[in-house]
């Protein structure tokens, strides 16, 4: 989608298991793509967490887009990836993992194709859930094992160095806004920020049970010092002119943080739940199981239509059946009237064609 177009609407789509690198890609075209709305979609799973077999949930490089009320389950590269996309608003989406480790929940790390321009790009009120323990809850215990060792490595990633190390040199992501997002479950880092300028990052919070786990993996470079997992980390040596919340922890090296690996087993994952929890099972504390759509109905979650959409389909089916019944009644009445009319005059077998045929047979 996207390309050299404007005013496209993408909604109520279930996209999963892509053959390429994204379940849903809204491209910039010749930098003339504008005003695409991506809402109420059911995305995932996308790709595999095996090395370089990853795929995004939603990838956006078109300007002035609206990405809202989407449920993204088990992406593996980025849940929502913004390639600059100046003027784009990303709000009220739910991103969570169950069986695959995810590199980044929401990514604002790509310098290309907009030269790092995130002017007017706002990420707000999104729910991001890392892995939870798959053990049975134990009274008095806060953590257990996860049978797939699933985490989100970075909940929200800001700046190219966070992701790519020094590949883009001194280039930065600039002028974006990240507000009022909620994180829960197991992460490497909740929000990681490096090589950024003129960003606003405020009022992002942890809800329910969380843990921050992981350690250097084989893809971490020998020259980089990988910081310990933590909720909010910032490399102040590469971030300038930005307003950030007070609970950020300064780190000396914010390069290539997705190289960490989750623990291989152990009681490190918090007890909790995710948006796909069955009725009667715990969901994520503080996070609704489904995101509300703009008209107040429920958006898609875990496959299927929203409540409003199902209601609309039910009404349409009832009206269709009623209309068919009325049509059948009129057809029957017309047929009975025609038979009655024929009975008052000439009998149908007295028509000349039928008589000629009978005479021809008799001869």
Q: Does residue 42 contact residue 14 with C-beta atoms inside 8 Å?
A: yes
Query: 10 Å Cβ neighbour count for 269?
Result: 29
Q: Does residue 254 contact residue 161 with C-beta atoms inside 8 Å?
A: yes
Upper half-sphere CA count for residue 218 (Cβ side, 13 Å): 1
Q: What does the pLDDT profile of the chain (363 residues) look like in tens digits?
A: 877 788 899 999 999 999 999 999 998 888 889 999 999 999 999 999 998 899 999 999 999 999 999 999 999 999 999 999 999 999 999 999 999 999 999 999 999 999 999 999 999 999 999 999 999 888 888 899 999 999 999 999 999 999 999 888 899 999 999 999 999 999 999 999 999 999 999 999 999 999 999 999 998 988 888 999 999 999 999 999 999 999 999 999 999 999 999 999 999 999 987 776 555 555 555 555 444 444 433 333 334 444 444 455 555 666 676 777 667 666 767 656 654 545 444 443 333 332 333 333 333
> What residue spans define the domains of the chain?
9-304, 312-362
Q: Rounded to whole angstroms, what are the CA distances from 135 to 6, 34, 50, 286, 345?
A: 48, 46, 24, 21, 85
- Eight-class DSSP state of 276: T
């Amino acid at each position: 989608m996207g390309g050299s177009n404007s005013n496209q609407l993408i909604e109520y789509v279930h996209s999963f298991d892509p053959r390429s690198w994204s379940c849903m890609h809204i491209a910039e075209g010749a930098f003339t793509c504008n005003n695409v709305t991506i809402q109420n979609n059911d995305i995932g799973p996308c790709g595999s967490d095996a090395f370089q077999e990853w795929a995004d949930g939603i990838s956006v490089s078109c300007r002035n887009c609206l990405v809202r009320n989407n449920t993204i389950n088990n992406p593996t590269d980025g849940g929502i990836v913004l390639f600059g996309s100046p003027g784009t608003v990303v709000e009220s989406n739910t991103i969570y993992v169950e069986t695959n480790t995810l590199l980044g929940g929401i990514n604002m790390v790509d310098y290309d194709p907009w030269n790092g321009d995130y002017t007017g790009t706002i990420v707000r009120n999104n729910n991001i859930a890392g892995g939870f323990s798959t053990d049975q809850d134990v009274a008095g215990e806060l953590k257990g094992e996860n049978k797939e060792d699933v985490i989100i490595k970075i909940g929200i990633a800001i700046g190219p160095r966070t992701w790519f190390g020094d590949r883009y040199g001194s280039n930065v992501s600039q002028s974006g806004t990240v507000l009022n997002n909620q994180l829960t479950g197991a992460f490497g880092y909740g929000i990681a920020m490096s090589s950024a300028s003129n960003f606003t990052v405020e009022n992002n919070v942890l809800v329910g049970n969380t843990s921050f786990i992981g350690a250097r993996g084989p893809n971490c470079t020998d020259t980089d010092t990988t910081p310990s997992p933590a909720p909010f980390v910032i490399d102040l040596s590469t971030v300038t002119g930005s307003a950030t919340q007070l609970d950020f922890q300064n780190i000396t090296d914010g390069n290539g943080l997705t190289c960490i690996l989750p623990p291989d087993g152990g009681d490190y994952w918090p007890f909790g739940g995710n948006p796909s929890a069955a009725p009667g099972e715990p969901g994520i504390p503080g996070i609704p199981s489904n995101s509300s759509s703009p008209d107040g109905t429920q958006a898609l979650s875990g496959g299927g239509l929203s409540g409003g959409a199902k209601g609309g389909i039910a009404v349409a089916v009832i009206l269709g059946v009623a209309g068919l019944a009325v049509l059948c009644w009129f057809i029957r009445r017309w047929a009975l009237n025609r038979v009655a009319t024929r009975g008052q005059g000439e009998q149908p077998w007295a028509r000349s064609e039928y008589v000629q045929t009978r005479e021809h047979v008799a001869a």
